[in-house]
Structure 1
Amino acid sequence: MTLTEPHAPAPADATTRALLEVEALDVYYGASQVLFGLGLTVGEGETVALLGRNGAGKSTTFKAIAGLAPPRRGAVRLAGRELVGVATHHIARAGIGYVPEDRQVFPEHSVEDNLTIGAKAGPKGARDWTLERIYDVFPILAGMRTRMAGRLSGGEQQMLTIARTLMGNPDLVLLDEPSEGLAPIIVVEIAKLIATLREMGVTILMAEQNMHFCLDVATHAAVIDKGVVVYRDTIDGLRANREITDRYLSI
């Protein structure tokens, strides 16, 4: 996807069916507006990195999609179904899986209990993600199935929360800052896991500050600044666009 105007969001690839469509989203916390007419599209099977500096509006975008920060204006559609105004638990059952930034494991329950708690059929009744499949994709968790989740390292908890979300058989996974606060060697393992899920066809929208983390795992990128998506392209297009990376992603 080539942009004719370098700071305008590009349309979704015409060959890919849009799974998530976010249009003209305004979100407030009290009297303070955080998102300003935000637009975003995620195609089926894509891994889209929502990139931006701290405070740009990434987590608020995720909370708005998940129903935790209801928009005052705009639309959020999943496979054509409008989600604005829908209760959060119904949004989850519609096919949105949310991995929050702070992980939120059940610390006094075992790894397997955490996975079982998250188990449910997908919106069309599919149960593709079972304990057996989770342990196949996340072998590190298989050896920890009886360990209390509160005794896991930060990286292990991150893997557990991703796996628990997949146990709900979502159509779309929201990953909020998956590399945040993790040791570099663990970040590499999380990146490998996300790449594996991408190859398996899982549709992912991932919020990140770390552009370099995303370059090898995402298929597309959207850049958010001050509550507005200012750029949308393939990950290769972002890699080649020094103007955008220097202006919006450099520290």
Structure 2
Amino acid sequence: MSAAEILRVEDIDVFYGASQILFGVSFGVEKGQSLALLGRNGAGKSTTMKAIIGIAQAKRGTVSVRGTQVQKFTPDRIAREGVGFVPEDRQIFPEHSVEDNLKIAIKPGVGGRVDWTLEKIYDVFPILASMKGRMGGRLSGGEQQMLTIARTLMGNPDVVLLDEPSEGLAPIIVEKIGELIQRLRDMGTTLIVAEQNMHFCLDIASHVAVIDKGHIVYRGSIDELRANDDVKKRYLAV
């Protein structure tokens, strides 16, 4: 793990029962980088994210946050180490207001750092400010996705994992989510975005790792991927 890396996944294997899902997956992300983990449906993207946050246990290999191996930690302990997770299915609290959903997640970051407050969230997510008293269950899918991202930021993470943030949303909402993630990137937020939608990630990511059948088959910059038609056609169905 290089000194600049916030998070490093090294040679991890993950099984669901007797079925092996990940095979020696390795990649890292440095402070301020945005890494797109790209692959088709079922390639292993969500399992990789769950292995990082401790929901899926790595049978072999290591997951390190700022040099500390966390692969044996519980998810709440990994969160305290500075990893924020935005799950694919959002998991908001539907019977609580938008503001209560945000307040539930308040905690300082590593070393007591507080970069995100309610005021800053409402500045970056003005749509949430306008509906802070509305129940979470009454939000649209796109609004719930924004709320889930904002709730994760309230924990002041060092790195944010976003699992399929564009999944199931209308194209116009996907565009708005993309603009939001671009703004977070431009603010220096370290991101790992798991996606099947390569085009969604082209203006978001600085770097890319492509996963296929549980193996990392390509790593490089987003500009290198743009120029690599073979990888796009073979693994991303472009």
Task: Please give the range of the TM-score, normalised by the shorter of the 2 chains.
Answer: over 0.9
**Residue aligning to 1:127:** 114
Distance 1:146 1:122 in 2: 26
Amino acid at match of 2:164: E
Distance 2:11 2:161 in 1: 19
Distance 1:99 1:124 in 2: 22
1:199 corresponds to 2:183:
no
**Residue aligning to 2:20:** 33
Distance 1:66 1:249 in 2: 25
Instruction: Kindly state the Cα deviation for residue 157 of structure 1 after the two structures are TM-superposed.
Output: 0.2
Q: 1:151 aligns with which of 113, 118, 138?
A: 138
Aligned length: 238
Instruction: Kindly state the Cα deviation for residue 249 of structure 1 after the two structures are TM-superposed.
Output: 0.1
Q: Secondary structure at the match of 1:101?
A: coil
Distance 1:106 1:161 in 2: 10
Q: What per-residue deviation string (whole Å, max 9, x for no partner) do you get for residues 163-214 of structure 1? A: 0000000000000000000010001100000000000000000000000000
Map 1:25-104; keep pairs closer than 5 Å: 25-104=12-91
Amino acid at match of 2:121: I
Distance 1:136 1:173 in 2: 19
Amino acid at match of 1:83: V
Distance 2:236 2:189 in 1: 26
Distance 1:243 1:43 in 2: 27
Distance 2:82 2:140 in 1: 29
**Residue aligning to 2:100:** 113
Distance 2:31 2:216 in 1: 20
Structure 1 unmatched ranges of 5 or more: 1-11
Instruction: Kindly state the Cα deviation for residue 87 of structure 1 after the two structures are TM-superposed.
Output: 1.3
Instruction: Kindly state the Cα deviation for residue 38 of structure 1 after the two structures are TM-superposed.
Output: 0.6
Distance 1:199 1:233 in 2: 20
Amino acid at match of 2:187: M
4+ residue runs of structure 1 moved beyond 6 angstroms?
none
Identity between Structure 1 and Structure 2 (%): 65
The two structures have a TM-score, normalised by structure 1, of: 0.93
**Residue aligning to 1:214:** 201
Q: What per-residue deviation string (whole Å, max 9, x for no partner) do you get for residues 130-183 of structure 1? A: 000000000000000000000000000000000000000000000000000001
Amino acid at match of 2:181: I
Distance 1:82 1:178 in 2: 27
Amino acid at match of 1:85: K
Instruction: Kindly state the Cα deviation for residue 108 of structure 1 after the two structures are TM-superposed.
Output: 0.2
Instruction: Kindly state the Cα deviation for residue 83 of structure 1 after the two structures are TM-superposed.
Output: 0.4
Q: 1:233 aligns with which of 220, 229, 232?
A: 220
